Amino acid sequence: MEIISHRGYWLTPEEQNTVAAFQRAIDHGFGIETDVRDFNKSLVISHDSPTDKCDAFDSLLCIARETEVMLAINVKSDGLSQDISKVMSGYPVNRWFVFDMSVPDMRWQLKSNNPTFGRISDIEPTLPNLLGIQGVWLDIFESDWWTAADLRELLEDYSVCVVSSELHKRDKSDLWEKLKPFSNNPRLSICTDFPMEAERFFNED
């Protein structure tokens, strides 16, 4: 299982989606999930409406280049597929995918040859019928709804990144226990606010 740090490996809430949190994640070998929008014709890192204080997206790419960490790019604005493709082609980032965009925009992400994960959740129980989707972002908005059988079936065909329960303000214990039997599967990852705790939990005997 690969561990992806939600908005980087941050130690205080103020560090979320900052270069310091991204660098700490890289130093520990964790993947990075971050949010990308457009602002003044440039890609920036921002979960909410962007301002001129947001870091440029390529500030992350500069430190992630030539590493093996996975970048999970949460696309918060439609119409960015070509911009993302162009900026990613300028950096030797080996492992990345986009996710969470609208379904119409997902078509453009796929047409731009951007590695794309579709979302399945308690609200959207099936993948969009689009060719080329490489993985599944397995979300849990209202409950930890999926079963071990659901996950096993998805892993037969896709890479799967599971959203950890604390990202939706719920206790993570049951979900982590449900995931643990799959922790040796190289196609599985988890996005979490607690990457160090996850590393210890999923690697213990």
> pLDDT per residue over 81-135, tens digit each?
999 999 999 998 989 999 999 999 999 999 999 999 999 999 999 999 999 999 9
Strand partners, 32: 5, 71
Phi, psi of 14 (to 5 degrees): -65, -20
Render pLDDT for 17-55 as a digit per residue (tens, 0 to 9): 999 999 999 999 999 999 999 999 999 999 999 999 999
With cut-offs at 50, 70 and 90, classify the pLDDT of residue 205. Answer: low
The per-residue pLDDT for 66 is 87
With cut-offs at 50, 70 and 90, classify the pLDDT of residue 180. Answer: very high
Is 204 a residue whose pLDDT tops 90? no
SS3 sequence, 63-128? HHCCCCCCEEEEECCCCCHHHHHHHHHCCCCCCEEEECCCHHHHHHHHHCCCCEEEEECCCCCCCC
- Assign domain 2-203 one CATH number from 3.20.20.190, 3.30.1360.120, 3.30.70.360, 3.10.105.10: 3.20.20.190
What's the whole-model pTM score?
A: 0.96
Residue ranges covered by each domain of the chain: 2-203
